[in-house]
Chain A
Amino acid sequence: SAVISQKPSRDICQRGTSLTIQCQVDSQVTMMFWYRQQPGQSLTLIATANQGSEATYESGFVIDKFPISRPNLTFSTLTVSNMSPEDSSIYLCSVEDGTRGYTFGSGTRLTVV
């Protein structure tokens, strides 16, 4: 299965600022997924990122708040913009490994103060 390197692993940010999270995959993948896991809760899909096209956002998530880049088949970034304490969560990227198994990055633990 694919190996995902996600950076940073954690960060503490001031409200009003932005943080960009990076995911690097060791193989080419068509689709990458970005999830949010709020404290004590399950994973919620933010968006699906295809290379060469705009990301598809789930209900409740908008591009202005969570812009995504997908410049090639092994890399993607998620930016959390104009942060507030409510954005404090774990953010995870994921890819489908070709056998309907989904591999996850180790996550970015974000605290907004």
Chain B
Amino acid sequence: AQSVTQLDSQVPVFEEAPVELRCNYSSSVSVYLFWYVQYPNQGLQLLLKYLSGSTLVKGINGFEAEFNKSQTSFHLRKPSVHISDTAEYFCAVSERGYQKVTFGTGTKLQVIP
């Protein structure tokens, strides 16, 4: 069965500083990986996804993530955060051949002015 672990429930970071949100997954088969963002009182928006190919995936709003198969990780990074990046970020995994998506517990990113 697939599972996702987001190690940090909250990450405070100063504006214009870099940030990394960590995500590890567990699965016995090949997977697809996703990062979603949820702004306060809104639905989820897809930031980026890894399906195959290059392990470095670029998404919207300047975010990128790197798939590391040996470490079963898919960490999200941004070189310089803005106040508007304050939101909750969810890592998710889906096993190839299946539609079910499993979400991590989320990481709240708080950007400090």
Contacts and interface: CB of A to CB of B under 8 A. Distances in A.
A92 B32 contact: no
Given A100-B51, A101-B49, A102-B46, A45 B104 contact: no
Interface in B7-46: 32, 34, 36, 41-46
A106 B100 contact: no
B106 A42 contact: yes
Range class of the B interface residue count? 20 to 34
A18 B73 CA distance: 41
Contacts, number: 47
Nearest to B108: A40
A26 B101 CA distance: 22
A33 B41 CA distance: 20
Contacts of B106: 41-42
Nearest to B48: A101
Given A31-B99, A100-B49, A102-B34, A43 B43 contact: no
B13 to A, nearest CB: 21
By DSSP majority rule, is chain A's interface helix, strand, loop, or mixed? strand
A3 B94 CA distance: 21
B46 A101 contact: yes
Interface string A45-87: 1001000000000000000000000000000000000000000
B103 A43 contact: yes
B74 interface: no
B43 A104 contact: yes
Given A96-B99, A104-B43, A105-B43, A42 B49 contact: no
11 contacts: A41-B105, A42-B90, A42-B106, A43-B44, A45-B102, A48-B99, A100-B32, A101-B49, A106-B42, A106-B43, A109-B41
